[in-house]
A and B are shown apart, each in its own frame.
Chain A
């Protein structure tokens, strides 16, 4: 059986998770892979948890990632990152945005303050970044998804120009520039981390 690589995107509705998952899927198709993606939208819009499964390889059947088989977890938020840790397989990588969003009706005291430590303790490899801050530096907080995609791009067998043309195809003018900048910040961060 040829190998299938599994990526889980997890976060909170409104964080641009499905867009990042979509663009990654398209980049992988451009690179010649079979890709399947599964997500649930509906109730997800209004601040609920959002999870998107993306699988690629020579041939992919199930769009769902079997539990505990995720190779790369991209968590847009700490609590959702922690919630998704059991999805990771042994040797899996967790990329976590150092941001917390309080669930509606949840008091700050109930929010796990030690989420990042628990993630770092459980995942075999954890990459923790402040994507929100980097996106602000790039010109728009909302581009945090592109920062995370930039980091992910370093972990996937897809050439840089494919990613960049995907961004340019998706966005226009100024927005495209900001997103590209955010993507590059993510990429640089990862390259730096890898060479350290």
Chain B
């Protein structure tokens, strides 16, 4: 059966067809839909783990237990999971283990643009690089086989264009299942130095066999055509090369680590001019040059951002595309207003950042929907590095002597890697404050359940982590739980927490509006007579509050009734009390 699938859907399909039985992940764009789709197959145990390290360990344990296993994450997630990865390379596997790293060249939704192909070389494990959805499915299954045949975890590398792009996939029935079962084998599974030394030898031997395999496998292939120009490429770049240079000879690599040295030399010898086309770092290029083959690489193609057919056409010396019919830049679109993403109207996070700005605090921020508070008009985030860094960052700034620093992070981020930072604050005598924005969900990545949600990926009920009680157990004595729709209560809590001579935690508690549809209330109403046009409400950055100067409206503010969710935050900051909520009136 043939179907249009995204790369992520195709990986999930390949996992199911390939007999995966244990799958774990932590959400992260562009990888998230892999686990969301795997969870639709009832035969596979699937879970959202609290972070990527735990997810990797669960999958490795599943493999030790004899099940085929999968773990998926975004590129920066592999930094978190790198510890188990490097030693899993030594233990090897029992059931096949595939590790998916979804990179984000172009940084569509990430904090950096790292090239995770380097992990394959650093951890000494093989890496596959599919170039469309059909290969995403096929390579997932191939990865499971390679994993078992060579006793190694296998990395599957995707990028945003592969994960989110859609193309047709031919599907099949699932393979027969392998027998699960754990055979104790201490010298393989217990990595103390004595055993580890022996396993390192096995790892090096395995790499040699894999390099031989790279020359034989159909995953790598030469497409001979015009030999005046040859291109070595993989992943999405292969499609772009075929688009702009259909006449060129191509060495398409599906297994990008280790590399097929002889095949590369044979290809190089067969063409006049040789290019390497790859996104981001010169990963293939440097290895190919190390073989003594001379190639044109990063001098012709950028090391930052995504590639595209035009860039490749120019780099190959073919000029842009072939048609020459382009109307590009006929219209000046530079001066058009940008449409940046913003927190939803009525988002429970908004009021906190208004408050922090008002109190002129230095905000060590973190990663989630709330990071959008960095933009105009709130501009209320001063640092953002990686998940959990708000807490360590606030602590470090405090110790550097900076006053009025506050760490702010979401519930999912707190569970992912904030808890240890908070332990550090208590242990090392901080006086700082941390705000946990508890909206009961991992919202930024599309609303995945987490340990505080009370639900699992399956939708089944689960115990919901009690964040105040956890903080108490960690030794935090000053804890405030507030409704973020109540600006006064929130300001009071933040002031008290900042003044408290010890570690304080403020928990703003209200579900993300997109998971709690019932929380939407009647839109608020603006009294045009009472409004003096001061524009203070515009400082909230709520998409429902529109500035309409010059449209015949005397005061210039309009509440967009389809967007307003009636959260009531603007009613609390309007100095003229010109905005009224119907639900508020009823209550009075």
A-contacting 9-mer, from B323-331, B357-365, B395-403, B569-577 = B323-331
* A85 engages B333 (CB within 8 Å): yes
CA distance A43 to B320 in the complex (A): 29
Partner of A105, one of B160, B236, B541: B541
CA distance A61 to B330 in the complex (A): 27
Given contacts A66-B321, A112-B336, contact A38 B168 (CB under 8 A): no
Residues of B within 8 A of A43 (CB): 108-109, 341
Given contacts A40-B108, A66-B308, contact A104 B340 (CB under 8 A): yes
* B331 engages A35 (CB within 8 Å): no
| A13 interface contact, C-beta 8 A | yes
**1/0 contact string of B334-361 vs chain A (CB within 8 Å):** 0011111111100000000000000000
Residue ranges of B at the interface with A (Cβ–Cβ < 8 Å): 2, 4, 29-30, 108-109, 132, 160-161, 164-168, 236, 239-240, 242-243, 246, 308-310, 320-321, 323, 325-331, 333, 336-344, 369, 372, 375-377, 445-446, 538, 541-543, 546-551, 560
Residues of B within 8 A of A102 (CB): 546, 560
* B239 engages A104 (CB within 8 Å): no
Number of residues of chain A lying within 8 A (CB) of chain B: 56
| A172 interface contact, C-beta 8 A | no
Residues of A within 8 A of B542 (CB): 104
* A90 engages B243 (CB within 8 Å): no
CA distance A103 to B269 in the complex (A): 55
| A98 interface contact, C-beta 8 A | no
| A45 interface contact, C-beta 8 A | yes
Given contacts A61-B239, A63-B161, A103-B338, contact A69 B323 (CB under 8 A): yes
Where chain B touches its partner, the secondary structure class is loop
Q: Which residue of A lies closest to B166 (CB)?
A: A37
Min C-beta distance of A165 to chain B, whole Å: 15
Residues of A within 8 A of B343 (CB): 46
* A36 engages B165 (CB within 8 Å): yes
CA distance A61 to B246 in the complex (A): 10
Residue ranges of A at the interface with B (Cβ–Cβ < 8 Å): 1, 12-13, 22, 25-26, 29, 34-49, 60-64, 66-69, 79-80, 82-83, 85-86, 88-92, 102-112, 118, 122
* A47 engages B341 (CB within 8 Å): yes
* A35 engages B165 (CB within 8 Å): no
* A122 engages B331 (CB within 8 Å): yes
* A26 engages B327 (CB within 8 Å): no
* A37 engages B310 (CB within 8 Å): no
* A26 engages B4 (CB within 8 Å): yes
Min C-beta distance of A126 to chain B, whole Å: 13
CA distance A42 to B32 in the complex (A): 10
Q: Which residue of B lies closest to A40 (CB)?
A: B108
20 pairs, A vs B, C-beta closer than 8 Å: A35-B167, A36-B167, A40-B164, A42-B108, A42-B109, A46-B372, A47-B342, A61-B242, A62-B242, A64-B240, A64-B309, A69-B323, A69-B326, A83-B336, A86-B327, A91-B325, A105-B541, A107-B548, A109-B549, A109-B550
